[in-house]
């Protein structure tokens, strides 16, 4: 269903009190070129009374504690390293209203349409020279419900960090005097020594366009996959390992490349538990490390789900040692930078959103019924594992990993086997 959104003029929301000034260095992970973009998400809430007013006030209070988010990215004069200037200018906030109820659009339980993108904030005018790190739009629907359209600069926070900030806003909206977890910067704790990796030549721009699909997997099927893994190995496996194995196998079968073609799976693991000394609980920067598994197409076509899940589990088991080597500046397996995997049709990137913390955000009227990530690339094959809208159960796969010619076969295989 199409709907219309009426937006009021956007405005900067500055910290509610005085904040420190100065320039902060970012970590070696924060400075990755691939993170210099904004991640877009939609957060759907069933109820709310004057949500724009409540959230805007709480946002201003939260920025007193998370004041670097009210600043701007700058480049240092020495080497052009990315930094944050704590200017206190604020974040961008838009109030809006929609001409229908959330129920009428099924709580955004569909692939995004042109109407959906009206729920994301329009940025400040380019000629104003303003590039805020956070942009937020709160759209009130004709029911009690509302949607938060969010754009977050990935150079400042990973998913866990962004969720931690939103939870702080929500705590202040519910009447807390200060965030439950005190935020800390501490980016200097992730400062890997200089390393000399082989920089791959960028591939030519692909001539395909990835198509989006949403597939819900029932929990019974997940339990079946886990039983098969236990019967083969005598060990347990996670929901992530079992489902990613399925996605990878069926995608490989759908696109039908030569059996000798190398196929890579890449996912970014939370590296906070691997830090020594440990990061403070309030750390909200980027702290992840890529895990890559590469086998031939023929291997994936012949393997069972349990076989592939075992490969993924074995790769995860190497993560602590690989991360420790990287932090020390030691040689890794091969001479390629682990943070620059090949951006090819043969590479599948997978993210798990279930444990980031977005589902716990409660501004006073209950947690979100749906969290909807927005496709960030038409040429980088990706899949996000999350949850379907409440009260549905199971695992939701939000994918843009195959081109149109392969979409039907990919979806049919996953749906038949689930």
Q: Which of 17, 329, 336 is nearest to 194 (CA)?
A: 329
d(CA 406, CA 390): 30
**Cβ–Cβ < 8 Å for 54, 363:** yes
Q: How many other CB atoms sit within 10 Å of the CB of residue 146?
A: 27
At residue 302's C-alpha, the angle toward residues 394 and 236, to 5°, is 45
**Cβ–Cβ < 8 Å for 379, 203:** no
Q: What are the start and end residues of each CATH 3.30.559.10 domain in the chain?
A: 5-189, 210-354+367-417
Q: Which of 278, 242, 209, 261 is nearest to 350 (CA)?
A: 242
Question: What is the pLDDT, as a whole number, of residue 193?
Answer: 66
Task: Judge whether 154 counts as a catalytic residue.
Answer: yes
Q: Considering 154, 246, 307, 406, which one is annotated as catalytic?
A: 154
Q: What one-character DSSP code corresponds to residue 336? A: B
CATH superfamily of 210-354+367-417: Chloramphenicol acetyltransferase-like domain (3.30.559.10)
CATH topology of domain 5-189: Chloramphenicol Acetyltransferase (3.30.559)
Supply 108's token pair. Answer: 């955004």
Q: Map tokens 């956007």 to a residue.
A: 10
d(CA 89, CA 118): 25
Q: What is the pLDDT of residues 20-35, one digit of tens each?
A: 999 999 999 999 988 9
Question: What is the pLDDT, as a whole number, of residue 308?
Answer: 97
Supply 61's token pair. Answer: 């209070």
d(CA 186, CA 287): 11
Q: Considering 109, 131, 337, 362, which one is annotated as catalytic?
A: 362
Q: Map tokens 């069972």 to a residue.
A: 304
d(CA 383, CA 267): 10
Q: Which of 22, 332, 35 is nearest to 155 (CA)?
A: 35
Question: What is the pLDDT, as a whole number, of residue 272?
Answer: 95
**Please, what are the averages of pLDDT over each run of 10 residues along the chain (418 residues)?**
90 97 94 91 96 98 98 85 95 97 92 85 79 97 96 96 98 97 94 62 75 93 96 95 96 95 96 93 96 97 96 96 87 74 91 93 97 87 93 93 94 76
Task: Judge whether 362 counts as a catalytic residue.
Answer: yes
């Amino acid at each position: 269903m199409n709907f219309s959104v009426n937006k009021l003029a956007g405005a900067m929301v500055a910290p509610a009190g005085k904040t420190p000034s100065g320039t902060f260095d970012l970590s070696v992970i924060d400075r990755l070129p691939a993170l210099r973009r904004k991640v877009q998400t939609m957060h759907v809430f069933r109820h709310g009374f004057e949500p724009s007013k409540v959230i805007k006030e709480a946002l201003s209070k939260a920025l007193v504690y998370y004041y670097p988010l009210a600043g701007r990215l700058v480049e240092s004069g020495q080497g052009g390293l990315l930094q944050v200037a704590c200017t206190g200018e604020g974040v961008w906030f838009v109030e809006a209203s929609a001409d229908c109820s959330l129920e009428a659009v099924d709580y955004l339980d569909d692939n995004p349409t042109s109407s959906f993108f009206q729920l994301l904030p329009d940025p400040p005018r380019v000629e104003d020279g303003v590039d805020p790190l956070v942009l937020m739009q709160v759209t009130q629907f004709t029911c009690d419900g509302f949607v938060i359209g969010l754009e977050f600069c990935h150079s400042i926070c990973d998913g866990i960090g962004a969720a931690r900030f939103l939870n702080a806003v929500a705590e202040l909206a519910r009447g807390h005097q200060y965030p439950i977890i005190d935020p800390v910067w501490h980016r200097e704790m992730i400062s890997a020594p200089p390393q000399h990796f082989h920089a791959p030549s960028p591939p030519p721009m692909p001539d395909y366009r990835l198509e989006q699909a949403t597939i819900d997997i029932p929990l019974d099927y997940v339990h079946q996959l886990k039983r098969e893994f236990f019967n083969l190995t005598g060990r347990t496996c996670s929901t992530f390992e079992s489902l990613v194995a399925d996605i990878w196998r069926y995608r490989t079968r759908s696109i039908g490349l030569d059996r000798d073609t190398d196929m890579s799976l890449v996912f970014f693991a939370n590296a906070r538990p691997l830090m020594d000394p440990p990061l403070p609980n309030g750390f909200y920067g980027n702290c992840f490390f890529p895990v890559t598994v590469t086998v031939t197409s023929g291997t994936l076509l012949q393997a069972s789900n349990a076989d592939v899940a075992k490969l993924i589990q074995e790769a995860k088991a190497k993560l602590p040692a690989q991360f420790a080597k990287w932090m020390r500046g030691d040689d890794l397996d091969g001479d390629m930078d682990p943070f620059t995997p090949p951006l090819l049709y043969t590479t599948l990137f997978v993210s798990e959103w279930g444990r980031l913390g977005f589902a716990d955000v409660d501004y006073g009227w209950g947690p979100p019924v749906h969290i909807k990530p927005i496709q960030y690339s038409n040429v980088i094959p990706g899949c996000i594992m999350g949850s379907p809208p409440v009260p549905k159960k199971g695992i939701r796969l939000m994918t843009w990993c195959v081109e149109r010619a392969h979409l039907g076969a990919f979806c049919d295989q996953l749906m038949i086997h689930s």
